[in-house]
Structure 1
């Protein structure tokens, strides 16, 4: 009888514990709507089923020529369920001082950018945009904590909208590790 009482107590407490344990469910990118460079709403849920590269950009950075490589990558894979989404940010050395209109003009004239470019945001600090909170906080993305090191850091999002990898700023967008990931079947 004593064993039955202990077993019942354990089962009740165990069930209660399991119900109250906060199991972390990773979020996905599809929850976000942002504004593009032209003031229009960009809904990440429209990208369901696609692989996504999110990159913070700057027009006056030593890494700015990566725009050309990003555009080449988009030209090559953009029709293969892959999209690049750029987020201009002025968080590193004031290297993106322009307005959204100036950024759009710069990207189009200098690099022929046709991939989606969002309105300028903050990618770190107290005013970090919610998209970047998701990208950099394990509690939200379920993969890892990270910090945006510099302009042109890349975040790879899988076809389920989950963070798959973080690519350092100096790694070119067409690095073999990236193109292999793009070409992998989901």
Structure 2
């Protein structure tokens, strides 16, 4: 299986973090490391579980990130990356979204509703098509005033997210 290095970029608010991506399956392993060498050392000790054990899950502050992948075990000095970068969500110690580089996982975005910024998941509305539902709600009645917000629109900005959405996201992904 092909493993490559990934980098989470927080913008100006925090230093970059690193993770291991399984390019064969298309899924990223969520623990984030301050040093890429430490990520590879943990992975070489026991793969996925060793990565999870090496980085305790402590952080609950969710930030918009830019996710990029290297062509191998390290990033080139010239800045070349593998595939297109993507925007998503992470804490200081976990990549939360996107974990997959394919189409296997639900699509997330932000949903501003009633002045509150929610983390929303795209769900199947049957004959009505797809719609965004906040993670904090089992059901959602869409309003004409609800606004979908792309992650990249809030990159490098402080977030004031719905606390119930954050708790649900971390429970699902962390």
Bin the TM-score by the shorter chain.
under 0.3
TM-score normalised per structure 2: 0.26
> Larger Rg: 1 or 2?
1
TM-score, normalisation: structure 1: 0.25
Structure with more of its chain in helix, by fraction: 1
In proportion to residue count, which structure has more strand? 2
Q: Which has the higher contact order (CA 8 A, sep 6+)?
A: 1
